[in-house]
Amino acid sequence: MNILDGKKISNDIKDEITEAVAQMKTNGEKTPHLAAVIVGEDGASLTYVGSKVRACARVGFESTLVQLPADITEADLLAKIQELNADDEIDGFIVQLPLPSHIDTQKVLLAVDPKKDVDGFHPENFGKLALDMETFIPATPYGIMELLRRYDINTSGKHTVVIGRSHIVGRPISILMSRKGQPGDSTVTLTHSRTKDLASFTKNADIVISALGVPNFLTADMVKEGAVIIDVGITRVPDNTTTKGYVITGDVDFEAVREKASYITPVPGGVGPMTIAMLLQNTLLARQRSVQ
């Protein structure tokens, strides 16, 4: 069993970005600038956004955190997005999800200028992803592809089973793994909550990508000997023995599944840090594309 070390690979990527930014500074060019919009006080969302802003400082990017109250009106949020679209200083921005229920998420994502949509959530960018066109690949699926690429895992002709059909992970990774190229060229099955006998699919999978959010869902009896296991789950499970009062738990029963897997991502330290690295990569791309 080999660990797919997302912490190490994400640090390698951040080092590469740091170097690119230093070169931009030497050339007297503008530094990439990411803005993150967060609505409300959700603890997990605040943690994620905080990590994204800290990561900007680590690579030499400018960053702006836009914190808005949970009761902001949809119109005021849309106005803020238009402001960010028009601000030449900002190269890319994200709106942290989920949004409060009184706000129409689709309307908000449609309002983001596709050229600044470093999350890759705008339908124009998502459509381009499906059509193999230049776009912003959503950070988590992009991170999974980059892990597979940097560990040189052969995906061609393999059976990849994706668990979960979310717009952020399951749906896009299923498209990416079926596209031409390496990683890619996989035969993909996208499973979800209505799939009958889900284990019958995972047992035959060469690669399992689980993005469900159910702790320890994927057990050893559900995977084939030698399979590659990618765990996207990051659920906070209450635990009074820790200072935070919770532990981050993946979808995979790690200790048992690692005995059968050829490669496996840990939680934490697998896909999570890759997501942040690829958001930075997309922001660098946004900056570079804006001067082309």
Nearer to ligand GUN, 275 or 281 (CB): 275
Nearer to ligand GUN, 235 or 275 (CB): 275
- Active-site annotation holds for 128: no
Nearer to ligand GUN, 94 or 161 (CB): 94
| Token pair recorded at residue 75 | 């119109």
In this structure, which long-range contacts are made by residues 128-137, counting pairs with CB atoms below 8 Å and at least 24 apart in sequence? 129/172, 129/175, 129/176, 130/175, 132/179, 132/180, 136/92, 136/282, 136/285, 136/286, 137/172, 137/176, 137/278, 137/282
Q: Are 96 and 48 in contact (CB under 8 A)?
A: yes
Three-class SS of 201-251: HHCCCCEEEECCCCCCCECHHHCCCCCEEEECCCEEEECCCCCCCEEEECC
CB of 119 to ligand GUN, least distance (A): 5
* Interface positions, 195-224, toward ligand GUN (CB under 6 A): none
Sheet strand arrangement including 228-231: 2-3, 263-264, 228-231, 207-210, 159-163, 187-191
CB of 40 to ligand GUN, least distance (A): 13
Nearer to ligand GUN, 45 or 262 (CB): 45
Sheet strand arrangement including 62-68: 62-68, 33-39, 92-95
Nearer to ligand GUN, 205 or 271 (CB): 271
Residue 49 CA to residue 52 CA, distance in Å, equals: 5
168 binds ligand GUN (CB under 6 A): yes
145 binds ligand GUN (CB under 6 A): no
173 binds ligand GUN (CB under 6 A): no
CB of 267 to ligand GUN, least distance (A): 15
- Active-site annotation holds for 260: no
* Interface positions, 61-120, toward ligand GUN (CB under 6 A): 94-97, 119
CB of 95 to ligand GUN, least distance (A): 6
Angle at the Cα of 199 (from 198 to 203), degrees rounded to 5? 130
- Active-site annotation holds for 119: yes
Among 34, 81, 139, 211, binds ligand GUN (CB under 6 A): 139
Catalytic residue, chosen from 5, 14, 80, 96, is 96
ω before 183 within 30° of 0 (cis)?
yes
Size of the site for ligand GUN (CB under 6 A): 9
140 binds ligand GUN (CB under 6 A): yes
Task: Quote the distance between the C-alpha of residue 99 and its chain's center.
Answer: 17
CB of 166 to ligand GUN, least distance (A): 9
Question: Which spans of this chain sit near ligand GUN (rule: CB under 6 A)?
Answer: 94-97, 119, 139-140, 168, 275
Residues tagged active-site = 52, 96, 119
